[in-house]
Amino acid sequence: MPEAVIVATARSPIGRAFKGSLTTIRPDDAVQQMVAAALAKVPQLNPAEISDLMLGCGLPGGEQGFNMARVVAIMMGYDHLPGTTITRYCSSSLQTTRMAFHAIKAGEGDAFLSAGVECVSRYAKGSSDSWPDTQNPVFAGAQERTTARSGAGAPDWHDPREDGEIPDVYVAPGRHGHRGQLLPAQRRRRRRGDHE
């Protein structure tokens, strides 16, 4: 089975949303610059040997839409290179690294590009989650529970499935952390037979 290794990396500076010099840079331009910088560190790699450009993007819409991975490949002159853009919110680029790792281990290719981008300052041009009336109304009650629990002194989150309800699939990514930490502990207590 082939080994998968990371042979080159590149990172753009981090800026604050809506402030500073990075606000004028389009996300596809930023990705193209970083992919080119990483490839410059591996001059012996023939671009024709790259199997795929995998790009993670938290909110792929507006300037971050249109299968940005393929857009970047074309911008770089790599018309032969397929591209896939995936979203897993805050873990999108990490997911592309996992995908590339698995593809190499499975023998699907020897070289892959794994990248990620999120340009919050450019959301004024649109994002995938910003359109009105696009959320499924079946989650309305779950969203109301999330809003009620977001205030100070709110009780710890518990699995709404225990009450015959569904979770809030639309909860903002920043609100996931504390819930993700509580749920495994609750499951461990339940396995031991402890009561909350």
Low-confidence spans in the chain with pLDDT less than 70 = 152, 172-196
pTM over 0.85: no
pLDDT cut 90: percent of the chain above it: 50
Q: What is the pLDDT of residues 84-107, one digit of tens each?
A: 999 998 899 999 999 999 999 999
Which of 62, 116, 65, 63 has the alpha carbon at shortest distance from 91?
116
Phi first, then psi: give them for residue 71, nearest 5 degrees: -60, -45
Q: What is the pLDDT of residues 27-54, one digit of tens each?
A: 999 999 999 999 999 999 999 999 999 9
